[in-house]
Structure 1
């Protein structure tokens, strides 16, 4: 049996699409809160978006991540699973051998590092589109009380403007913070998932049930996104920077300025939304991934002996 398999990439794409559809509305709220535009509480942010932009405001910028994050998720799951197989092949002599916690950690870190190459630009465009708000003269949010020109007409126009004004480096703005978020973040994503799947699955069952996958994926997502919030705040601020003004020089400058102006609590802004959003998004993602993988492997034609 080959250590490398493409079906993990295909199933990862399906899981990523499901996760985006479920998680995007709360992702928009999280982005607005973390960017520090004066919304205050989570509830006030939700009500302000609904009052000024209606339901469509929560799905702003979703078309691009629906395609691109599906590809990004395909890379994450594909790299993670195939790295595990390579490790198992070399350490235990079989790609099917049950991995140790250290194996899961290494595969998670590799997936986190590789994924930033695709995830950085995807997150940047998503956040730039999410941060655009229509001109309004009502409400008490400083950012949206000022007439704001809708700078980006869509994902392609957004990318072209960023390349024109900021160059290639602009597309990867915030990638340093994303690496610092995702390398430990994926360890706290895949390791709890594997542990919980095994723990929830009754003895005597060779594979976890749909419920086990859904529950384990949801809890793992809440843990991962909740603990990743401080660096996610920094990443969101760096990537949102440039919509109205450029004020951060890099990761350390963003951390210093944010702490100086708003205190330690700023790094936990959106932690509740992150954790709540992490459950349904990751539950849908893992369940769709596992079901797709099962269907793909069932349909594979076994070679004749």
Structure 2
């Protein structure tokens, strides 16, 4: 980086750190990114969950065909209210904690570029993932229950998100799947933010201010980050989904992460841990491109 660029970047970082409303702005931008992620990714997510939890061999094409014929296009957005609120909160938590950790590592004496080391970026995301897991686990549990139920009227188990929450709380099952969620979120978010920040840092080191990186590049970086995340943690997500769609009162597949893993492997083999992988990877690029681009543009707007 040239001498002319570095001081400007340093001043921008100090202003950001000293802004009393910085945390609120980080959370607001994260919420915007989360909403964008849900709107873009929900159809893919519904297909993924149906595949992961299917008791019979099927394909993404068959799932989509059956869903459209039996439930219509609206079926792809079943349970969307919960993720719109919940994923907004989750992404807000992820990004908010990640930004706070970046400021923590910079301290009062950041280097001239304001950049961190790659292990530090991973740690920022790792901590953000752990914090987010306690929100994500119950929110995703409710969403998955709603996504996988079929039928209408009196035939459905849950009449909506609130009814689902009440029944899960009554069955002492709302936080089921927390352990695989913690493992997925910690390593997944560490990889997620490391990938993104490494790509952004590459631009900053070339003399480009973060606020001047074009939207199309932010989309590409977000797409690559989302893809890297799911490549690292996908089997954990399958285990979590199986645990969260098991019977509320009687867990057929096992009561622990290890127990479920053993039972699923014994019954279906290793391929079971990659059910729904195709739709997930198809979703990862556009959903996370929208997430990061929206987050960065919201941060620029908020200042």
Q: Please give the TM-score of this superposition, normalised by the length of structure 1.
A: 0.87
Q: Which runs of 5+ in 1 are unaligned?
A: 136-147, 298-305
Segments of 4+ in structure 1 off by > 6 A? none
Which of these residues, 255, 271, 285, is aligned with residue 265 of structure 1?
A: 271
Structure 2 residue 213 is the aligned partner of structure 1 residue 211: no
* 1:29-40 pair list within 5 angstroms: 29-38=47-56, 40=58
Counterpart Cα distance in 2 of 1:290 and 1:263: 42
Distance 1:236 1:96, change over 3 A: farther
Q: Which runs of 5+ in 2 are unaligned?
A: 1-13
Bigger drift between 240-249 and 224-233 goes to: 240-249
1:129 is aligned to: 146
1:117 is aligned to: 134
Which of these residues, 155, 160, 164, is aligned with residue 166 of structure 2?
A: 160
What is the Cα deviation at residue 97 of structure 1? 2.1
* 1:12-31 pair list within 5 angstroms: 12-31=30-49
1:223 is aligned to: 228
2:6 is aligned to: none
Q: Please give the TM-score of this superposition, normalised by the length of structure 2.
A: 0.87
Counterpart Cα distance in 1 of 2:29 and 2:251: 39
What is the Cα deviation at residue 73 of structure 1? 0.8
Distance 1:179 1:32, change over 3 A: same
Q: CA contact under 8 A between 1:197 and 1:212: conserved in structure 2?
A: no
* 1:228-239 pair list within 5 angstroms: 228-239=233-244
1:172 is aligned to: 175
Q: CA contact under 8 A between 1:196 and 1:216: conserved in structure 2?
A: yes
Count of residue pairs the alignment pairs up = 282
1:253 is aligned to: 259
2:5 is aligned to: none
Q: CA contact under 8 A between 2:115 and 2:201: conserved in structure 1?
A: no
Q: CA contact under 8 A between 2:137 and 2:181: conserved in structure 1?
A: yes
